Amino acid sequence: MIGHGFMGAAHSQGWRVAPRFFDLPLDPAMQVVVGRDPGRTAEAAATWGWLEAATDWREVIRRDDIDLIDIVTPGDTHAEIAIAALRAGKHVLCEKPLANTVAEAEAMAAAAEDAARAGVRSMVGFTYRRVPATTFARRLVAEGRIGEVRQVRAEYLQDWLADENAPLTWRLNKDIAGSGSLGDIGAHAVDLTEFITGQTVDRVSGILETLVAERPVMAEGVGLSGTAGAERGAVTVDDLALFTGRLSGGALASFEATRFRTGRKNALRIEISGSRGALAFDLERMNELEFYDATLPESEQGFRRIFVTEPSHPYADRWWPTGHMLGYEHGFSHQVVDLVTAIAERTDPAPSFADGLHVQRVLDAVERSSAADGAWQTTR
Amino acid sequence: MIGHGFMGAAHSQGWRVAPRFFDLPLDPAMQVVVGRDPGRTAEAAATWGWLEAATDWREVIRRDDIDLIDIVTPGDTHAEIAIAALRAGKHVLCEKPLANTVAEAEAMAAAAEDAARAGVRSMVGFTYRRVPATTFARRLVAEGRIGEVRQVRAEYLQDWLADENAPLTWRLNKDIAGSGSLGDIGAHAVDLTEFITGQTVDRVSGILETLVAERPVMAEGVGLSGTAGAERGAVTVDDLALFTGRLSGGALASFEATRFRTGRKNALRIEISGSRGALAFDLERMNELEFYDATLPESEQGFRRIFVTEPSHPYADRWWPTGHMLGYEHGFSHQVVDLVTAIAERTDPAPSFADGLHVQRVLDAVERSSAADGAWQTTR
Amino acid sequence: MIGHGFMGAAHSQGWRVAPRFFDLPLDPAMQVVVGRDPGRTAEAAATWGWLEAATDWREVIRRDDIDLIDIVTPGDTHAEIAIAALRAGKHVLCEKPLANTVAEAEAMAAAAEDAARAGVRSMVGFTYRRVPATTFARRLVAEGRIGEVRQVRAEYLQDWLADENAPLTWRLNKDIAGSGSLGDIGAHAVDLTEFITGQTVDRVSGILETLVAERPVMAEGVGLSGTAGAERGAVTVDDLALFTGRLSGGALASFEATRFRTGRKNALRIEISGSRGALAFDLERMNELEFYDATLPESEQGFRRIFVTEPSHPYADRWWPTGHMLGYEHGFSHQVVDLVTAIAERTDPAPSFADGLHVQRVLDAVERSSAADGAWQTTR
Amino acid sequence: MIGHGFMGAAHSQGWRVAPRFFDLPLDPAMQVVVGRDPGRTAEAAATWGWLEAATDWREVIRRDDIDLIDIVTPGDTHAEIAIAALRAGKHVLCEKPLANTVAEAEAMAAAAEDAARAGVRSMVGFTYRRVPATTFARRLVAEGRIGEVRQVRAEYLQDWLADENAPLTWRLNKDIAGSGSLGDIGAHAVDLTEFITGQTVDRVSGILETLVAERPVMAEGVGLSGTAGAERGAVTVDDLALFTGRLSGGALASFEATRFRTGRKNALRIEISGSRGALAFDLERMNELEFYDATLPESEQGFRRIFVTEPSHPYADRWWPTGHMLGYEHGFSHQVVDLVTAIAERTDPAPSFADGLHVQRVLDAVERSSAADGAWQTTR
């Protein structure tokens, strides 16, 4: 695993726990974690249960005993690492967004396609696809239970920047993070829309906005929880993204990604309206899926709160009895299960780097539209 | 109409509005309102749109041009007025509870039975039966949609006495009000249970409790909104009633009536669990009914929020388009519709005085059980 | 009252009920209702309690005993009637949208301004301003309880056109209705945003969409509930409107108006995010307001469901005790109260025709933006 | 760890994960799991990550390298194992209910008291105390935020026995399970009430009921998921328990434990009403706590949905960022943290065996009351 921040903790938990609850066809070992700072990396290895710590990812990629590289670094480093790993014949799991630019993502997708011909697998980490409720939603759409998709509303609402004195972290620096709310959380809204509907976002019109232009600069290297000083620096990414997309099936989808929706902490929500029904999901109540069946008698129609914890629900039978909730981290175990299964079965896992590239193109088109007074842009 | 308090306002609104939205088979005129104080009664007549005001209800009952007596006085006066009216051949609508004692209620039910033989109709005012959602719930149970009733939870939660300096109104005086939370709101929980399930509560065990024993005495005649002085008087009714009932079909029902559930304002809630499904209703969201259909595939089961405003729902087609809410007072219009229709069609309206007597017997059995250390008491 | 459709019923109920619950400074009489068809107009007069029926609105406007004209006809007739009435010195209440075009609305606003100089009052019927919860929301914003407005999401979601065989009513004809979801329900979302925030929508970018292009033609004159034949005609209005607006205070607002959000019946929802808190309202639960106070200690923050039925809430003290719900029609009583009070007190009621014109300009700018590939348009 | 059923999985997850997210003062090793069947025990060891498997718990207790015994067997074996372990100087974590009878529980509590004098710690596994929301609720009550406790409603609602052909598992056998809904889930409702209020249940009145008297017998040894045959056997435990308790502070608490509340899967709910506020919790939405603050201005009061995922909330800062949900199993990690911390700090952890004994006495008193026609019974 390359990197060891918040995402490193989540990925480590996935690797550690998945084999305990699922019958994996292979037996993954948590071998080595890589970071720049030797001390902090060693500490991460101890905390998260990796056997070794290393500081040079290139060296790790060359090792024969390493079969899979899990990339959890910031987006600006994804391309270089992933391409090198794929060329070295290692399977790659890369945290989203795939890259910070379309050009990088294109190079990565091309490398993944080359590698796939040699049986090397790659996958991008949109774990919200693997919440039982969202996987089940996709199944219901595929089975025609909501009919033809007519409209989508997808939003990812947070509020951790609502405080204008929240510090200037790397996530607010365009050079490192690529974009702000758009790439960090809007990407999830786009991917989830495409995953559940089985369609792609083909054209977009939108606007990006930075609500607080300057924030306190942090003492170097301090990270998220550091004390900020009096100096203020420029926020170079968006705080809010509002855009409309045209799906490949013809329907319009309305998107919002924001870190300023006061009181909303992690509300990735999607509602899909179809000719025969509708589905609604909210990550803040991730064990529930609301389903409206418009084919029932008029007097009996209503949004139905399905508690997605039954043995017949995706992934759910391997965990706890009905009614016992799963949390944020379980998607990372499911990701491990699906990736390891694909490797063992010699199939290509989803979402692929090509899928990740497509999301990147959607984000890029939104940026272009915002710069072009809202004019519609294609994502191809 | 005899009486003109809060209930007088609600009944007046029912009489005024019902003919505007429903095609009544008869054309009721709001003729005369009766009260003790001439000035305040005249004011009530003007405010609520009654043609005359009077102070002697016996005189009004003797009038040939009066066909129906609507009783909205406190419970201690119901028996005398209702029996006199029925004997005078007037149809009677009597606000709940039917009476303050079983003996009074028995006399009223007997008078109603006698009168019925002469074609004189009587009805007791449990208006929460006439909320579209509860009427629809009864229909679903009758159609077998939840199968055999297995359990009921019925509660009526308020908090207006949570403030221990709330004044000592007539509703806290056993001589006038008969009982406290039990008769005032617990009666609704009992009636709604019997109405929706189509069963009776045959035996009960329970406890009554007064949480605040003394409250500030109000200056005489001032009513609910008066200023209370330093003097404190004894609360002689219950603040809280907790009881369990055995339904005629065999299931247990758990009841709670309280004015001390902080934050709950008017939460008459009922949940009925059956072998094939369940229903849940909350008066604080009275336009909604939750229905759980256990005959659906396991993965699709869930409580369904039915917005009970469709043309196919009870009463709903005469009001506004789908999705437009009704409020508290609409049940009073529905009561007028059902009563006037029964009179015109020469049928006996429900709930009858016998139904009201039965509720009174349930309340009485709860009081007896509470006095007998929780021993089960029959309601017959 | 000119017109007698669904809105005629609602306005009549307002005129009838308001004086019973509020102390009006004047005593309005429901004198005459005007419609084209003598028979149906007479029937409407009888049903809704108007003393007379008439077929010529010009004649009614000339009558000395008429002080106020209430216009509830489709939007294409508003301008002519309202201007004539104002010139005749009659106060005017005009149902929304003010008109079908900006030009008409401008003429109306000019006429209203002229009339105001002579003490003649005019008001446009955005009744959702007069739901206690929305009025209270405006008060909280004005008091600074959510700080500076940072973002708004306003949506009006219905689904009555989701059935593609729903008939081609006048509301789907641009010549009569002006626009579709945009003017019919989007107008409410715009007005409510401006009302609660106290700001105006100054620029917009958006798209209009017709999802079902042809629908069954109805037999002439049959109206909403008629039987549709095999013939299909073109829908000439939008089914869905998605747009973004720039508020005068600088914040972005995201709007959606749709009749295709399956399962949503009458969901006028607004969420306003500010620097110190947030507010959320949903017309499907119109007695509730959610308030998030970001100035509380972090561990105690949360959206608070305020049941807007306390005596201290707007309008609420004149109706029922705490916890007893109001419904759709009560806003029409509040409208009567505010209008009659303004007339008596010789002040200008809100929303004025100028406010209505402004909403019309916003709608027009959305249409222009949709035609211009999403380019931002000014609403001035 | 003695036993390896569903609870074994949960405890194992706790032991495995806790050290990764919390800084434990000691470093627990998952040494040996004990079961009757050698093959299945070895499989459990491999699956859950225990170093060894064994079949003789007495032998394990004698081992010098074992410091702590974690008991997750059915209730009928708890006393023997726990007492032996404590006498051997091992710290003991015992799954709830502490025992199947009061006599056994008394012996266990006495053994625990003896052992404590020698510095040996014991704890009973009521993990729902360690959900951040419930721990936070206790803190708010202790700080006086809801004032004096006036009323409690505590219910644990499931529906997995609603199907009358659900098989006759060991949980329906009184000899093994001790009791049914009462001991299995009612115990949690009692413990949570005592934990949050800081009071004890001193007297009770109630009724136990078996709704389905006979169920299909399972082929021997097959367990929960086995195929049931045509033979039916007697259910010897309760399906439903309804009881009222008197708290040590004087308030009444109403309890319900049921496996027949159709549609409710794992709804451990508690609502505590106090003189200054109220709290409500539902395990089906375990990351949320509703708080009503009655000291706010009347117009601003409402139940507030606190998302209990802030760094300032109990346990929450060690997991994920704000808004990222925890699930069922996290309580088991918190249990490990608190137990290991107590051992290291030489303090007695809670809930103690004495606490577990008290819960057992409450359950016993409910059984006695049910047998005595609802007569109130003391729990001392």
pLDDT greater than 70 at residue B281: yes
In which band, very low, low, confident or very high, does the pLDDT at D227 lie, cut at 50, 70 and 90?
A: low
| Span D132-141, average pLDDT | 98
Q: Which of A197, A305, A306 is nearest to A251 (CA)?
A: A197
**Alpha helix segments (H runs only) across C98-206:** 102-117, 132-142, 174-177, 181, 187-197
Average pLDDT over residues D230-255: 95
The model's pLDDT over B326-337, given as tens digits with 9 standing for 90+, comes to: 999 999 999 999
Give the pLDDT mean for C102-120.
Answer: 97
Quick check: B310 and A298 CB within 8 A?
yes
Residue D195, pLDDT above cutoff 80: yes
* C273/A261 CB distance under 8 A: yes
Question: What is the predicted pLDDT for the residue at B176?
Answer: 86
Residue B73 has φ and ψ, to the nearest 5°, of -85, 170
The fraction of chain C above a pLDDT of 90, given in percent, is: 90
CB–CB contact A304 B304 (8 Å): yes
B225-250 per-position pLDDT tens digit: 445 567 899 999 999 999 999 999 99
- pLDDT class of B380 with cuts at 50, 70, 90: confident
**Chain A, chain C: beta-carbon pairs less than 8 Å apart:** 110
Give the one of C6, C17, C326 whose C-beta lies nearest to B321's C-beta.
C6
Q: What is the CATH number of domain C6-128?
A: 3.40.50.720
Task: Tell me how many residue pairs between chain B and chain C have CB atoms under 8 A apart.
Answer: 80
Lowest-pLDDT range, A212-221, B48-57, B81-90, B168-177? Answer: A212-221
Closest to B79 (Cα-Cα) out of B112, B55, B56, B54: B112
| pLDDT score recorded for residue D341 | 98
When scoring A145, A296, A303, A304 by the number of chain B Cβ atoms within 10 A, the one with the most, hence best to mutate, is: A304
Q: Which of C296, C300, C301 to mutate to test the interface with D (most CBs of D within 10 A)?
A: C300
Cβ contact B305–A305 (<8 Å):
yes
Q: Are B246 and B199 in contact (CB under 8 A)?
A: no
For D293, nearest residue in chain B (alpha carbons): B263
- Cβ pair D322:A17 closer than 8 A: no
Mean pLDDT of chain C: 95
Domain residue spans of chain A: 6-128, 129-326+357-371
Best D204, D262, D301, D305 residue to mutate vs chain B (most B CBs within 10 Å): D262
Per-residue model confidence as pLDDT tens digits over C126-182: 999 999 999 999 999 999 999 999 999 999 999 999 999 889 988 898 888 888 999
Q: What is the mean pLDDT of residues D306-319?
A: 97
Phi, psi torsion values for B13, nearest 5 degrees? -60, -40
Percent share of chain A, pLDDT over 70: 97
pLDDT in tens, A16-60: 999 999 999 999 999 999 999 999 999 999 999 999 999 999 999
What confidence category does residue D169 fall into, taking pLDDT thresholds of 50, 70 and 90? Answer: confident
Cβ burial of B240 (10 Å; 0-12, 13-18, 19+) is buried
Return the H-helix or E-strand segment holding B12.
helix B6-21
CA of B12 vs chain C CAs: smallest distance (Å)? 10
Distance separating alpha carbons of residues A309 and A324, to the nearest angstrom: 7
Å from B234 to nearest chain D CA? 19
Q: Say whether A6 and D321 touch across the interface (CB within 8 A).
A: yes
C-interface mutation test, from A254, A281, A284, most C Cβ less than 10 A away: A254
Under CATH, what is the fold of the domain D6-126? Rossmann fold (3.40.50)
Over range D313-321, report the average pLDDT: 96
pLDDT range class, residue D5, cuts 50, 70, 90:
confident
Which pLDDT belongs to residue A229? 64
Closest chain C residue to A291 measured between Cα atoms? Answer: C263
Cβ distance of A323 and D284 shorter than 8 Å: yes
pLDDT at A154: 98
List of chain A residues whose C-beta atoms are within 8 Å of the C-beta of residue C278: 261-263
CB–CB of A136/A309 below 8 Å?
Answer: no
Q: Which chain C positions have a beta carbon within 8 Å of B14's beta carbon? A: none
Chain C CB contacts of B23 below 8 Å: none
Within 8 A of B267 by CB-CB distance, chain C residues are 323
Q: What's the whole-number average pLDDT of chain D? A: 95
The contacts found for D46-52 with CB under 8 angstroms, 24 or more apart, are: D47/A20, D48/A20, D48/D4, D48/D8, D48/D9, D48/D12, D48/D13, D48/D16, D49/A20, D49/D12, D49/D16, D50/D1, D50/D12
pLDDT value of position A224 = 47
Residue C328: its chain B contacts at CB < 8 A?
Answer: 320, 324-326
In this structure, CATH architecture of domain A129-326+357-371: 2-Layer Sandwich (3.30)
The beta-carbon neighbor of A307 closest among D16, D284, D326 is: D284
What fold is seen in the domain C130-324+357-371?
Dihydrodipicolinate Reductase; domain 2 (3.30.360)
Asked if pLDDT for residue C376 goes beyond 90, the answer is yes
Which residues of A are less than 8 Å from C276 in CB distance? 262
Taking one residue from A and the other from D, the number of pairs with CB-CB distance under 8 angstroms is 81
Answer yes or no: is pLDDT of A85 > 60: yes
Chain D neighbours, 3+ Cβ pairs < 8 A = A, B, C
State the pLDDT at residue B177. 83
* Residues sharing a CB contact under 8 Å with residue C23, sequence separation 6 or more, in sequence order: none
Would you state the pLDDT for residue A6?
A: 87
Residue B272 has pLDDT above 80, yes or no: yes
Query: At the top level of CATH, which class does the domain B129-351+358-371 belong to?
Result: alpha beta
- Amino acid in position B283: L
Closest CA to C182 of C174, A162, D375: C174
Mean pLDDT for all residues in chain A = 95
pLDDT at B224 over 90: no
* Bond before D74 cis per omega within 30 degrees: no
Task: Assess whether pLDDT exceeds 80 at residue C79.
Answer: yes
Which of C301, C312, C313 shows the shortest C-beta gap to D306?
A: C301
Residues in chain B: 380
- For A207, the closest chain C residue by CA position comes to C244
Angle, alpha carbons D183-D10-A339 (nearest 5°)? 145
Cβ-contact D357, D42 below 8 angstroms: no
Interfacial residues of A (vs C; Cβ cutoff 8 Å): 146, 150-151, 153, 159, 162, 164, 205, 207, 209, 211, 240, 242, 244, 252, 254, 256, 258, 260-263, 271, 273-275, 277-278, 292, 294, 301-303, 369, 373-376
Distance of CA D120 to CAs C114, D31, D88, D115, D342, Å? Answer: 91, 19, 10, 5, 10
**Per-residue pLDDT at D222 exceeds 50:** no
* ipTM exceeding 0.90, yes/no: yes
pLDDT of amino acid B227: 55
Pairing relation of β-strands B277-282 and B267-274?
antiparallel
Predicted local distance difference test score (pLDDT) of residue D6: 87
**What integer pLDDT is reported at residue C10 of this predicted model?**
96
pLDDT at residue number A228: 55
Mean pLDDT over residues A114-142, rounded? 97
Instruction: Please tell me which of the candidates B305, B310, B313 has its beta carbon nearest to residue A303.
Output: B305
3-state percent helix, strand, coil for chain A, nearest multiple of 5: 40, 25, 40
Closest CA to D351 of D77, D136, D129, D101: D129
Lowest pLDDT segment from A255-259, B182-186, C283-287, D175-179: D175-179
